[in-house]
Chain A
Amino acid sequence: MKVTTRVMTANRLGDGAVVYLAEEDDWVLVLDDAEVADGDEAAAALEARAAASAARQEVVSTYLFAVSVTETGIAPVSQREIIRAAGPTVGTDLPATTPLV
C-alpha cells in the first residue's frame, strides 16, 4: 500500500540539525510536532513553503519523506529517517528498530 502521509524535513543551516516543517513555517526538532501532509496537494504545499524557507537561507537539503501516523504519534517508514529522527544507534545493541524516544 502506498504511503500517502509525508513530512517535510531539512537540515538547519547553522548546525545541520535535523528539522521538520511545522505550522506557521516553523522548523521543529521533534518529529511529532511536524505538520503531516496527506496527499499530493498538501505535499506540494509543504514543498513550496520549504523552498521559500531555503531561499531565506534558514535550512538546506529539503525533502519529503513517508511517515505513518498512529495513536502513538508520527513514525518514519524508512530506517534512514528513523535514525535521522532518533539519532545514531551506536552504543545500543542494534534493536530491530530504533526507538524514537
Chain B
Amino acid sequence: MYTYNEFDHAFVRDRTAEFRDQVARRIAGELTEDEFKPLRLMNGLYLQLHAYMLRVAIPYGTLSARQMRQLGYIARRWDRNWGHFTTRQNIQYNWTKLDDVPDILDALADVEMHAIQTSGNCIRNVTADQFAGVAADEIEDSRVWAEIMRQWSTLHPEFTFLPRKFKIAITGSENDRAAVKLHDIGLRMRRNDAGEVGFEVIVGGGQGRTPIVGETIREFLPKQHLLSYLEAILRTYNLLGRRDNLYKARIKILVAAVGIEKFAEMVEEEWHEIKDSALTLDAAKIAEIERHFAPPVYQEIAEPVAPYDAARFTDPAFAAWTRTNLFPHKQPGYTIVTVSLKPAGGVPGDATAEQMEALADLAEKYSLGELRIAHEQNVVLPYVRKQDLHTLWQALGEHGLADANIGLITDIISCPGLDYCNLANARAIPIAQRLSRHFSDPALQSEIGPITLNISGCINACGHHHVGNIGILGVDKKGVEHYQITIGGIADENAAIGKILGPSFPAESVVDAIDTLIGTFRKIRTEGETFIDTVTRVGITPFKETLYANH
C-alpha cells in the first residue's frame, strides 16, 4: 500500500489546520455561507437534508486495517455509529457537526486519509478495480497508476476550477470492474503486439442526465506518457468545455459536440507540445511508486486445499457463500473475498462502527491487513488463504457480514436518495430494502443467476441505474415519488445504457414490477442464460408487454 512521505503528511496536516481556521471563522460569523461553501466543499463537506455530510476519500478503494478501524472510530465518536460506502469507493458520514469536522479530519490525517477531491469541479478521487494487484485475470496492478494520477491531480493548479467535476477510473484487466467506459476518462491497461503494457484511453463517458458510453481516443498509450496525455485531455477540456450551463459542462458534452475524431485530434495536437516535458514518467519514478504496491510475501500453498474442500462438502451454507463471494486470486492457495454489505432488508453500503472494526480485525488476521471498497458498495478482503475461509466466514457471520449474494439480485447498488440527499427526487434505499427482502430466498437468487440491479434517487445517477441490468430511477411526478424502470444496462467492458420500458410506477408497485420482469425472464430464458443475455437476445419488448399488461 502507498504510505505517506513527509510531504504528504505535512500537506494533509496543513490542509486540516487551514480548514479548522475556516470553520472557526465561519462559526464566529467572519465568513458568510457564500464565502464558506466553496471552502467546505473542497474538504468534502456537504450540507444535506438533515445535517452536514462528510465524504472521505478512499483513494482507488484501497485501505489498511488501521484505516478501516479509524473509520469505525469516527463513526462512533462523531457520527451516529455508522457510515455509508459509496459507488465512488468513498465513505460518507451523514450526521456530522460543523465544529467536529476539523477533529474528524485530524483523526483521518492520523491514518493518512483526508476528504480532499471528493467534491468540487476538480479531478476527483481516482477509482479503480477493487481486485487490483490480486486478480488472476489482471495484466498489471492499476493502483500504481491510480496513485501516480492522485499525486499529479491533487491541487493541480491548472485543473482546480474545471468547468465541472472530473472523474477518472482505471482497470488493470481486460475485464472491466471499474466501469471505466462510464467516466470522463477511463483507462484500461493492455498489452500491444510487442508485449509492452500501456493504456487504452477512453473519454467522454458518464451517467447523469446524459448517459454516454465513452469512446476510445487512443488504443495504446505507452506508460511513461500517461500524465502528459491526461494533461492534454484536461487542457483541451478546460479550454473548450462549457461554463455557461451546468448541465452541459461535462467533457462528454464537449466530445459529443465536436465529435470523437476531432476531439482526439485536438488532444493529440496538445499532447505533441508537452509529450516530452517534465510530465514524462521515467523508470525510476515509476519504480518508486511500484515499490509501495510490491506483492506481499505469499506462502507456497498447494492446490487443492484439503481443509477448504472438506468444509465446502460438509457445510452447504458455506459452500453457497464460496460460490458467490470469491474471485480467483493470482496466487495459488489464496482467494479474494467480497464481503457483502447487502443483507436482506438492509441499507446497501452501510456498515456500523462495530462492523468496520470487525472487518479491520479480520483483515489483520486473514488478509495481510488490507481491505478494498468495491464501487458496488461492498468490502473486499484481497489476500485470504483458502484454508482460512471457513473460519473467516463464520467470523463474518457473527457480525452480519456473511451474506452469500455477490453479483445476485439482492446485491443492489443504491444511492442515499431522498432520505438524505439534497439533490434527490425520490427515495432509493427503502426501495432497495423492499427488493432485497422480496428476493431474499437464496435458492431463488441462485436460480435467477448473475444480474445487476441499481437504484438512483435522481437523474444524477450516483446509484448507476443507467448501467444496471435492471435500473430504477426515482422521479418526482407531481409531488409523488415514482420510479422509472430500465433494462439492458451494462457497466463492464461491454458497457451499455439501459432502455426505458415505459411510464413510471408509484413506490408501492415497484417490487411487483421487478417481480414481473424476473418472472418474464424466467419464462423466456434459455437454459443457463443470464438476465442480460436474455435481454440482449430478445430485446425489451417481451418485458415491456408483460410489465404493462399486469400493471
> Are A17 and B51 in touch, CB under 8 angstroms?
yes
Interface of A is mostly: loop
**A83 CA to B13 CA, complexed, in Å:** 37
> Are B47 and A60 in touch, CB under 8 angstroms?
yes
Q: Determine the chain A residues whose CB is within 8 A of the CB of B419 once the complex forms.
A: 83, 88-90
**A90 CA to B431 CA, complexed, in Å:** 10
Chain B residues 467 to 481 lying within 8 A of chain A, measured CB to CB, are 476, 479-481
> Are B479 and A11 in touch, CB under 8 angstroms?
no
Q: Determine the chain A residues whose CB is within 8 A of the CB of B479 once the complex forms.
A: 77-79
CB of A73 within 8 A of chain B? no
Chain A proximity of B32: nearest CB distance (Å): 8
Q: Which of B96, B98, B418, B434 contacts A83 (CB 8 A)?
A: B418
In the complex formed, the residue of B with least CB distance to A60 is: B33
The 0/1 profile, CB within 8 Å of A marked 1, for residues 99-130 of chain B is 10000000000000000000000000000000
In the complex formed, the residue of B with least CB distance to A94 is: B430
**A14 CA to B100 CA, complexed, in Å:** 9
In the complex formed, the residue of A with least CB distance to B53 is: A16
> Are A88 and B508 in touch, CB under 8 angstroms?
no
Of listed B32, B97, B419, B434, residue having the most chain A CB within 10 A: B419
Chain B residues 69 to 116 lying within 8 A of chain A, measured CB to CB, are 96-99
CB of B218 within 8 A of chain A? no
CB of B340 within 8 A of chain A? no
Q: Which of B28, B99, B434, B481 contacts A79 (CB 8 A)?
A: B481
Q: Determine the chain B residues whose CB is within 8 A of the CB of A14 once the complex forms.
A: 27, 97-99
> Are B50 and A89 in touch, CB under 8 angstroms?
no
**A92 CA to B28 CA, complexed, in Å:** 39
**A94 CA to B508 CA, complexed, in Å:** 8
**A87 CA to B420 CA, complexed, in Å:** 9
> Are B420 and A16 in touch, CB under 8 angstroms?
no
Chain B proximity of A14: nearest CB distance (Å): 6
Q: Determine the chain B residues whose CB is within 8 A of the CB of A93 once the complex forms.
A: 430, 433-434
Q: Which of A61, A77, A80, A90 contacts B430 (CB 8 A)?
A: A90
A16-B98, A60-B33 are contacts. A94–B27 as well, Cβ < 8 Å?
Answer: no
**A77 CA to B479 CA, complexed, in Å:** 8
> Are A16 and B48 in touch, CB under 8 angstroms?
yes
Interface size class of B (residues with CB under 8 A): 20 to 34
A57-B29, A88-B420, A90-B419 are contacts. A15–B427 as well, Cβ < 8 Å?
Answer: no
> Are B29 and A56 in touch, CB under 8 angstroms?
yes
Chain A residues 70 to 101 lying within 8 A of chain B, measured CB to CB, are 77-80, 83-84, 87-94, 96
CB of A30 within 8 A of chain B? no
CB of A18 within 8 A of chain B? yes
> Are B49 and A84 in touch, CB under 8 angstroms?
yes
A79-B418, A94-B431 are contacts. A15–B51 as well, Cβ < 8 Å?
Answer: yes
Q: Which of B29, B51, B433, B508 contacts A90 (CB 8 A)?
A: B433
CB of A45 within 8 A of chain B? no
Chain B proximity of A54: nearest CB distance (Å): 7
Q: Which of B26, B47, B426, B508 contacts A61 (CB 8 A)?
A: B47
Q: Which of B27, B29, B427 contacts A89 (CB 8 A)?
A: B427
CB of A13 within 8 A of chain B? yes
> Are A54 and B50 in touch, CB under 8 angstroms?
no
In the complex formed, the residue of A with least CB distance to B434 is: A94
**A17 CA to B48 CA, complexed, in Å:** 10
**A56 CA to B479 CA, complexed, in Å:** 33
A79-B418, A83-B418, A88-B420 are contacts. A94–B427 as well, Cβ < 8 Å?
Answer: yes
> Are B418 and A13 in touch, CB under 8 angstroms?
no
CB of B293 within 8 A of chain A? no
CB of B169 within 8 A of chain A? no
Of listed A78, A90, A96, residue having the most chain B CB within 10 A: A90
Q: Determine the chain B residues whose CB is within 8 A of the CB of A90 once the complex forms.
A: 347, 419, 429-430, 433
> Are A13 and B481 in touch, CB under 8 angstroms?
no
CB of B507 within 8 A of chain A? yes
Other than A79-B479, A88-B420, A89-B430, give 4 A-B pairs with Cβ distance below 8 A.
A79-B480, A83-B427, A89-B427, A96-B508
What is A's interface to B at a CB cutoff of 8 Å?
Answer: 11, 13-18, 54, 56-57, 60-61, 77-80, 83-84, 87-94, 96
The 3 closest A-B pairs by CB, nearest first: A88-B419, A57-B29, A94-B430
11 A-B residue pairs with Cβ-Cβ distance under 8 Å, sorted by A, are A16-B51, A16-B96, A61-B47, A78-B479, A79-B426, A79-B479, A79-B480, A79-B481, A90-B433, A93-B434, A94-B433
